[in-house]
Amino acid sequence: MAELKVRGLSAQNLAGIDAANNRAHSSREVYLRKYIHHDATDHLLRGDVLDLRELTKRTAIIIEQNTKTYLEFVGTVRELGLSNEN
């Protein structure tokens, strides 16, 4: 595995990193490795997430339209059934 050395971190940034890794119950190294991995791979998923959101919106619209059409169909069948019984 590659190694990375980061110079010039402020005390404030380091304290923030330490607070975050303490909340995560991990070491500074493990926390930063996970953080770097997430940041490095986030761009790979961003497009997929946006595509999924758009697909979900379109699917919801189609379901609404199909439900409306189905309910209209059921209403028409019921009307025809009642008028044929008379």
State the chain's mean pLDDT as an integer: 89
Rounded to an integer, what distance in angstroms lies between the CA atom of residue 36 and that of residue 55?
30
pLDDT tens by residue, 58-69: 999 999 999 999
pLDDT on residue 41: 85
Decide: 21 and 31 in contact? Cβ < 8 Å.
Answer: yes
For 19-34, write each residue's pLDDT tens digit: 999 998 999 999 999 9
Among candidates 48, 19, 21, 50, which has minimal Cα distance to 35? 21
Q: What is the DSSP letter of 4?
A: -
Q: Report the SS3 class of residue 23.
A: helix
Q: Is the pLDDT of residue 42 over 90?
A: no
